[in-house]
């Protein structure tokens, strides 16, 4: 389909104008979805196609940018099952990996979905404390 400005898009629903793209084109997807939402007076949406579990880093980047700039874009993924690999800190045993957050040595709070969750020195906790991570939002809801 084509918008009045000549750009083409993938999906138009009653509520959303959705860009579908490979995750490596995440930056273009953000701009295109905002343009389509504007052109059709609908909420912007992005569906990213993840081809490998390593593509997860791009998905985190998109979600972080959307949150940071408070963009009203719904982001979905398709592709292989993408989950956090189990992590183990040398100072923690595996049973302590049950907290909802990871507090890093720099006192930043990370969610389980964050790339920095369980990395480096820190501790698992059930409540956030300190500064929130700029990538995952930490304990902010």
Report yes or no on whether pTM surpasses 0.85: no
Higher pLDDT, 57 or 4: 57
In a domain, 88, yes or no: no
Domain hosting 16: range is 11-78
Q: What is the pLDDT of residue 85?
A: 47
Q: What is the pLDDT of residue 3?
A: 60
Q: What is the pLDDT of residue 87?
A: 44
**Calpha distance 36→113 (Å, rounded):** 29
Based on the domain organization, do 16 and 66 belong to the same domain?
yes
Give the pLDDT band of residue 73 (cuts 50, 70, 90).
very high
Q: Is 91 helix (H, G, I), strand (E, B) or coil?
A: coil
Based on the domain organization, do 74 and 28 belong to the same domain?
yes
In a domain, 1, yes or no: no
- Mean pLDDT, range 65-88, rounded to an integer: 76
In a domain, 119, yes or no: yes
Asked whether the predicted pLDDT for residue 46 surpasses 90, the reply is: yes
- Mean pLDDT, range 4-31, rounded to an integer: 85
In a domain, 106, yes or no: yes
| Cα→Cα distances 120→9, 85, 92, 102, 115, Å | 42, 15, 11, 10, 11
Based on the domain organization, do 25 and 72 belong to the same domain?
yes
- How many structural domains is the chain composed of? 2
Based on the domain organization, do 36 and 63 belong to the same domain?
yes
Q: Which residues, at least 6 apart from 10, have a Cβ–Cβ distance to it below 8 Å?
A: 1, 18, 19, 20, 47
- Mean pLDDT, range 98-120, rounded to an integer: 81
Please report, for the chain, how many H helices and E strands are present, in that order: 2, 8
- Mean pLDDT, range 90-105, rounded to an integer: 60
Name the strands in the sheet holding 131-132, side by side, starting at the edge strand that comes first in the sequence: 122-125, 101-104, 108-111, 131-132
């Amino acid at each position: 389909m084509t918008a009045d400005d000549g750009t083409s898009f993938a999906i138009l629903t009653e509520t959303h104008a959705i860009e579908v793209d490979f995750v490596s084109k995440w930056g273009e997807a953000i701009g295109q979805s905002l343009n389509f939402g504007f052109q059709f007076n609908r909420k912007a949406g992005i569906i990213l196609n993840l081809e490998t579990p390593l593509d997860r880093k791009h998905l985190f980047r998109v979600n972080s940018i959307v949150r940071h700039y408070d963009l009203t874009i719904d982001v979905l993924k398709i592709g292989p099952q993408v989950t956090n690999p189990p992590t183990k800190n040398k100072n923690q045993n595996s049973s302590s990996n049950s907290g909802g957050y990871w507090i890093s040595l720099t006192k930043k709070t990370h969610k389980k979905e964050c790339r920095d969750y369980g990395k480096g020195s820190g501790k698992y906790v059930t409540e956030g404390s300190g500064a929130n991570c700029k990538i995952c939002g930490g304990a902010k809801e």
